[in-house]
Amino acid sequence: MQLKNKKVTVFCSASNAVSEEYKKVAQELGSLLVKHSCHLIYGGNKNGLMCIVAETVLNNGGKVTGIIPKFMKEKQWQDNRLTDEQLIITGTMTKRKEKLISQVDIIIVLAGGVGTLEEASQAINMNRFGKITTPIIFINTNSFYSELLHWLNKTIDQRFMRKKHQEIWHSVDCVAKLLSFVMVIYFNIFGI
């Protein structure tokens, strides 16, 4: 299994106020996706890490689809560089999440706030209930997700979730480790 030509959803912040370290990681991820001819699927927002990943992919000739709910488009929060073919408008946030999560090969979670947490949680739950088999990988920049990952493991330890569910989420501490990790995950999950 390689990363090449895969549909990759990226969940991340729409805030422009985050530190340069997180912005650099977003650029690195965008570059990696282009290098491996991946199709970026993201939240379609014109701000924050979302915009940086998409901008990096677009500026280097990569394929991008933004998915945004109607109310966000009405507030003009959508990335205006996206053509009508590259932008999908949904009726609700729920529909947006469903489209972001379904029919993709990998879900990558960069640093983000409650919206990112909500999206990652829904992806984990859909995987837990067998609706998807998509690997979910947190890029744990600067230990951003360490407490969340600890809590997720605690839900296993204290039997709120089954031990097998621990295989749903994974983490790496930098983009550079993502490619080799993806190959290991797919080998373990699908025997590829």
Q: Where are the alpha helices (DSSP H) in 1-135?
A: 20-35, 48-59, 70-74, 93-101, 114-128
The rounded distance, in Å, linking the Cα atoms of 56 and 28 is: 8
Phi, psi angle pair for 129, to nearest 5°: -90, 5
The residue whose two tokens read 């990998």 is 106
Q: In degrees, to the nearest 5, what angle opens at C-alpha 132 toward C-alphas 129 and 138?
A: 100
The rounded distance, in Å, linking the Cα atoms of 192 and 185 is: 10
So what's the pLDDT on residue 183?
Answer: 62
If pLDDT is split at 50, 70 and 90, which confidence band does 5 have? confident
Nearest to 15 by CA among 107, 113, 110: 113
pTM exceeds cut of 0.75: yes
DSSP-assigned letters across all residues of 64-83: EEEEEEHHHHHTT-B-TTS-
| Chain length of the chain | 192
- Taking all residues of the chain, what is their mean pLDDT, rounded to a whole number? 92
Domain ranges in the chain? 7-186
Tokens for 139? Answer: 């890029």
Write out pLDDT tens, residues 138-165.
Answer: 999 999 999 999 999 999 999 999 999 9
Nearest to 77 by CA among 31, 111, 105, 115: 115
User: What is the CATH number that goes with domain 7-186?
Assistant: 3.40.50.450
Write out pLDDT tens, residues 75-117.
Answer: 999 999 999 999 999 999 999 999 999 989 999 999 999 999 9
